[in-house]
Structure 1
Amino acid sequence: MKVVVSTLNAKFIHTSLALRYLKAYCEKDFDVEITEYTIKDPAMNIVSDLYQKAPDVLGFSCYIWNIEETIQVIKMLKKIRPELIILLGGPEVSYDTEYWMKRIPEVDFIVMGEGEETFHQLLTEISTTRKYHFVYGLAYRKGEEVIIMPGRPKLKLDDIPSPHRFAEDLPSLANRVVYFETSRGCPFSCQFCLSSIEVGVRYFDMERTKSDLMYLINSGAKLIKFVDRTFNIKRDYAMEIFDFLIKNHNGVVFQFEITADIMRPEVLDYLAEHAPPGTFRFEIGVQSTNDTTNELVQRRQNFAKLTRTVQKVKHSLKIDQHLDLIAGLPEEDYNSFRKTFNDVFELGPEELQLGFLKMLRGTGLRNEAERWGYVYMDHAPYEILGNDILPFTDIIRIKRVEDVLEKYWNAHRMDNTVKYLIAHEFTSAFDFFQEFGDYWEERGWQRIGHQLEDLFTRLRDFLLHRETPNMPIIEGLMKLDYFLGHKYRPRKIWWDFTLDKSEQMAYLRLLAEQPELVDGDGGFQRLRMNEKDLHKHVMLEVLPFALQTYLQSGDIDTSSPQLLVVHFPPDAQQAVSCYTMPLHQAAVK
């Protein structure tokens, strides 16, 4: 019996941990082949590939991001291979299972919940007696009737073989995200989240966890994402893994989902002292700072303690932080969400993800949707279209905020400019992104693509349209950000140089002869560039303010315009360097 397990990942770089667990658990008795696609792959290409593999049993792992595309594939396959046994599993079909069996008559079985043991027993029954009423955690068909069996007890996690030891995964480890699990379950009861349904947290054996991590590190993995819902809930366990990774990271980056308000100060102090810069990333779900909202969704959160953690991590300069918000939670109207956004943006996260509430099957919030007047999409991803206090018009407005937030903050194309605008020219961060997002849509830019320079010219258009003061200072910061956004000397700029060609050449000659004129600790002098190298690797521009004063204190000193000297190293792996020097008009003349 040939068994293929498959899924449609959101992106090519993603990998399915679920499929690897199934293969690991079953491979002692069955030959299970993993094959992964993406939601962008044409359905016909997927069907053709699976057809040529000629499986007897085909299983799909289903999530909100792939269920609709998966259904297309299933329906086509069943038409050309009516005898093919098709089964589904995953969080999207583990709830409202009878609905899925009726909606997709081409599906023969659904594995509900934790699937390793159920999948193995199902394969055993398919290949032998076919007595499916013995298989707990299974939905199957008996004539026209759908039979849903009771769930099965949770597995002992260490009974599951490692999903990380397959030889076929080794060639692509460096180019794809490795998902890793040290525990299952979540101690919290947030009513918008599927993790709240499973009671209790179970852990894998520590030595097994370390062994698997060491194997992945030594085999060339570059990014490992821990999928534990609350990685730091068990402090000693988390600390032991942090310590192990600090000592053995070998350049790998590790990402964790943490609950910030329960992070102990001694853990933060340890990480601040010992974590190598850039090795760890933290994802923190804030969701809302509205206490009433958090209480209604049974989310326990102490924002003061969360703030302490985020600020302490930020000040360590060791760990990037990704903070999440959810628009549309109960009793969070437009103005309340504006406050939530500003509260969290003020913490200065490297990335702020603005998401919209999804009414996931099986969650308490979906079951009580009428209480809050929710309307939402009929099919995945079940995103809300409004509720009693947040109409669709407000959702559209917040989506404009999300769009420019992604382009101008999360992509880190204009950090210096955006920070200045929010601090000096707009009432709040939310108001900047909202005004700009509204202008972006009014101009129809959401319907056309953009190059990097377009992002700068469109921001300038917006700021000029609203008659923003201090444009010379803002444009100076934009030019700085544009230079910093390139690894090599840019061939294209979006403004007219302040200096004409002869002035630039005179300054480059001066820099070759007197590099000590450049401010700083002598870093520019140590480059030892002649005039030819300067022409190839340096760009110049006049700034109408003292750059170092602004970077150190945030103050704008326009009494001392400076020459910005930007060095682009021949090796793109090295960072671009910015220097300044006083303007020497006499030297140019």
Structure 2
Amino acid sequence: MPADRHTAPRRSVSRRPNRRTGHTGDLVDLKAIMDETGKDLHACLLELTGEQAYLPLAAGYLAAYAAKDEEIRRRVRISLVLEHAQSGIDRLLHQIVRAGVPDVLAISCQGWSVPVADEIARRVRTLNPDATIVYGGNHVSHQGRDFFASRPYADILVNGEGEETFRDILLRCLVDRRDPDLADVPGLSFRTKTGEMVTTPDRERLANLDEIPSPYLHGLLDEFLDSCETALLETNRGCPYHCSFCYWGQAVGQRLHSFSYDRLKAEMTLLAARGIDSWYICDANFGILRQDADIVDEIVRLRQEYGFPKTVHTNWAKNSNQRIVELCAKLNKGGVHSTYTLALQSTTESALQLANRANMKINKIGEIARLCRQHGVVPRGELIWGLPGETYQEFLRSYDDLAEYTDALSVYPLYILPNTEYHRSQEVLGIVTTKVEPDTDYAYCVEHAQMTADDFLAGLRFIISNNILKVGGILFRLYPRVAWSVAGVPYHRTIEGLADWVLNTDHPVAQRFKKYYRSPLTTHRQSLTEVWLTLKRDRAGLLDMVHQYLEATVHSALAEQGAQVEVLREALRFDAETYPVMDSRIREEQESVEERYVRTSTFAYDFLSVKHGESRQLTPGRFVYTIDHPAGLWRYPIENWYFGLLSYQAKVARIQENSTEPDRQAELIRAGDHTLRKVSL
């Protein structure tokens, strides 16, 4: 069994010169850029993550590219501050100024980090009025006039890719630190000493990404790897699509540029040898290129050799096909947890047209979901609530369309991001936005021509219920399909009623969730974390809450109509018994066999065939299944735990099946009726 990264020492990795690719093996020591002695200029690169224990890449790229220049390497000291956005202003500022207040502060921004970045910039300006303060990143890029109007302390805004531009800024600061001449540097906006804002022409994207030395392979990120839970990998840049809600930097609708496979292989080997559990491949469409299959093969090989990574997440290519499913399946079969997402966002035609999306047809979705289940891959869905062109009722129909084929279904509210088509078309589409989160700069779409403010709040409450039952709870995998096929209960109906029930019940676990329904706009994001905490502290109570909710709502209503609800209860028991095991280090060591917990259970219907999509008809009988839970959920990176739950649900296999008489079926159902409340996995 591979050593656990929490107990095994991190290994050092040798770096061999490689003249052909020019990354690991440059004879130049790029790490000299971080030396403190004898330097004329101190530049600090600040990058704040939205997730705990993530290791970001942008600042490392900027430092590595700048360090290629001999004059910069000789005269400039670059320090890196890579922290979570909520680490605390004082802590961040201390790290920035620990070797002196920087002459240049360069901040890589996303929406989750802008408020903190602004406060840091204000304080650095106070400490060093002559400092040059530079911003970059997708959330602020190309926002020149509005950006500077609200930030008197900012000097330079980088537009687009930043590696070449940051190098040029440093070179100009070496000539004149207080008033660098930037007029002929492409790819930026800046404020002159007279207060005038100047924007230079855009810079061409880098076509050969290997011109950027690897910050991993050159050791620029070594000090951060020991505390890293999730490492980022970028295999290419660019996105061929033009979705109205998305801004993938300057590369939207552009040709993809790739890093070489040799370089990526060396980076992956280093991360595996250092024992990094979780990797996030931050491409827009991983799997779209031929070399991506080689990358997956190498990840599986490294898992076997080093025991890492144990988890890989990515944004799979939007144009889903059998090849993409097989890549995800190969990871899972190789012991690397991964999930596959059908990111449809909507099935409402008018909304898709405004979003510049062309989704696959429903029959193709069914085929992809069937392939997922055949290959042992968990099919996950994704929708956006609040898209222009879609009413609340149409959104619920979109939910029903996708829920038919997925085991987990995430719903996100629509942010109107800078530089997107929605941002440019707000007046035409009747979009009204609001910013309510003090820790982010995201603007929610709270109204548009087809959605009222009340509709928006109803959708947020639906998201919270979905977080509890379908995303965070991932309990509703089989039950909604059985409720629909047996009793005609729409998928969304099993979710939508939870809000009113929670607000009016005295169930002890439900008390945890009341505050989210009362103030959904400001708290809905935290509802996922609440599910995780409840699962860790009171798994049985969470399952019982779901049982009580369904008994009081769906089941009681069906009983009043004379419908039989026993099969629904049995389906819920199936979901409960295959629900992930929240274990501990001690339990894993003492009870698991080859990192698994295995038991058997008997059901009165062939739920496995329905779960696998082999049949929509429930066959009665006596069905004995092995229920095989993966061990180790306790060590899963908390930032992505709700993805992890999908991979940690039990694998179910049929041992035997025998038809039984109807009275025996009823006996089996009654015998299992209490199991939901008493299961103690």
Q: TM-score, normalised by structure 2?
A: 0.68
**Matched residue of 1:455: which SS?**
helix
Contact 1:75/1:106, CA 8 A, preserved across alignment: yes
Alignment partner of 1:46 out of 52, 71, 92: 92
Report what 1:189 is aligned to: 242
CA distance in 2, matches of 1:477, 1:447: 30
Alignment partner of 1:237 out of 291, 297, 301: 291
1:476 CA displacement: 6.6
Report what 1:465 is aligned to: 552
Alignment partner of 2:431 out of 374, 378, 381: 374
Following superposition of structure 1 onto structure 2, how do residues 299-338 of structure 1 map, counting pairs within 5 Å?
299-303=357-361, 304-317=363-376, 319-338=377-396
CA distance in 1, matches of 2:285, 2:67: 30
Report what 2:259 is aligned to: 204
Matched, 1:432 2:483: no
The change in CA–CA distance for 1:163 and 1:442 in structure 2 (over 3 A counts) is farther
Matched, 1:399 2:449: no
How many residue pairs are counted as aligned between the two chains?
A: 530
The structure, 1 or 2, with the larger RCO (C-alpha pairs under 8 Å, 6+ apart) is: 2
Report what 1:360 is aligned to: 417
CA distance in 2, matches of 1:85, 1:258: 39
The letter for the 1-side match of 2:319 is D
1:171 CA displacement: 6.4
1:198 CA displacement: 5.0
Following superposition of structure 1 onto structure 2, how do residues 137-156 of structure 1 map, counting pairs within 5 Å?
137-142=187-192, 143-155=194-206, 156=208
1:125 CA displacement: 0.8
1:122 CA displacement: 0.3
CA distance in 2, matches of 1:164, 1:321: 33
1:27 CA displacement: 2.7
Contact 2:104/2:132, CA 8 A, preserved across alignment: yes
1:153 CA displacement: 1.4
The letter for the 2-side match of 1:133 is A
The change in CA–CA distance for 1:198 and 1:132 in structure 2 (over 3 A counts) is farther
Matched, 1:24 2:64: yes
The letter for the 1-side match of 2:543 is F
Listed as ranges, the gaps of 5+ residues in structure 1 are: 490-526, 528-536
CA distance in 1, matches of 2:327, 2:598: 41
CA distance in 1, matches of 2:236, 2:382: 22
1:46 CA displacement: 2.4
The letter for the 1-side match of 2:185 is V
Matched, 1:447 2:515: yes
1:362 CA displacement: 0.9
Listed as ranges, the gaps of 5+ residues in structure 2 are: 1-40, 506-510, 517-529, 585-592, 611-616, 636-647, 657-663, 672-681
Contact 2:466/2:495, CA 8 A, preserved across alignment: yes
Report what 2:674 is aligned to: none
Report what 2:447 is aligned to: 386
The letter for the 2-side match of 1:10 is G
Report what 1:547 is aligned to: 603
The change in CA–CA distance for 1:396 and 1:277 in structure 2 (over 3 A counts) is farther
CA distance in 2, matches of 1:217, 1:108: 40
Report what 2:162 is aligned to: 115
Matched, 1:71 2:132: no
1:22 CA displacement: 0.9
The letter for the 2-side match of 1:356 is P
CA distance in 1, matches of 2:286, 2:89: 36
CA distance in 1, matches of 2:339, 2:599: 34
CA distance in 2, matches of 1:231, 1:572: 28
CA distance in 1, matches of 2:581, 2:134: 48
Report what 1:519 is aligned to: none
Report what 2:339 is aligned to: 281
Worse-superposed segment, 336-345 or 275-284: 275-284
Report what 1:224 is aligned to: 279
CA distance in 2, matches of 1:275, 1:487: 20
The letter for the 2-side match of 1:137 is G
Report what 1:102 is aligned to: 149
1:184 CA displacement: 0.9
Identical columns (%): 19
Alignment partner of 1:12 out of 35, 52, 75: 52
Contact 1:400/1:438, CA 8 A, preserved across alignment: no
Report what 1:511 is aligned to: none
CA distance in 1, matches of 2:120, 2:380: 34
The letter for the 1-side match of 2:64 is A
**Matched residue of 2:129: which SS?**
coil
CA distance in 2, matches of 1:224, 1:91: 22
The letter for the 2-side match of 1:432 is T
The letter for the 1-side match of 2:149 is K
Matched, 1:414 2:475: yes
State the superposition RMSD in angstroms: 4.0
Following superposition of structure 1 onto structure 2, how do residues 284-295 of structure 1 map, counting pairs within 5 Å?
284-295=342-353
The change in CA–CA distance for 1:152 and 1:559 in structure 2 (over 3 A counts) is closer
Contact 1:325/1:355, CA 8 A, preserved across alignment: yes
Contact 1:549/1:557, CA 8 A, preserved across alignment: yes
The letter for the 2-side match of 1:325 is L
Worse-superposed segment, 121-130 or 187-196: 187-196
In our comparison, the structure showing a higher alpha carbon Rg is 1
The letter for the 2-side match of 1:238 is D
1:138 CA displacement: 1.8
**Matched residue of 1:133: which SS?**
coil
Alignment partner of 1:161 out of 213, 223, 238: 213
Contact 1:397/1:438, CA 8 A, preserved across alignment: no
1:473 CA displacement: 6.6
The change in CA–CA distance for 1:111 and 1:539 in structure 2 (over 3 A counts) is closer
Contact 1:4/1:33, CA 8 A, preserved across alignment: yes
The letter for the 1-side match of 2:57 is L
**Matched residue of 2:313: which SS?**
strand
Q: TM-score, normalised by structure 1?
A: 0.78
Contact 2:285/2:317, CA 8 A, preserved across alignment: yes
**1:380-436 deviations in Å (ceiling 9; x for gaps):** 211100111111212211212211222222234534674455655662221111111
Report what 2:270 is aligned to: 215
CA distance in 2, matches of 1:267, 1:396: 36
The letter for the 2-side match of 1:227 is C
Alignment partner of 1:37 out of 80, 83, 93: 83
The letter for the 2-side match of 1:358 is Y
The letter for the 1-side match of 2:63 is K
1:549 CA displacement: 3.6
**1:190-236 deviations in Å (ceiling 9; x for gaps):** 122113745222122232222222332233222222121122333x2
The change in CA–CA distance for 1:412 and 1:436 in structure 2 (over 3 A counts) is closer
1:268 CA displacement: 4.7
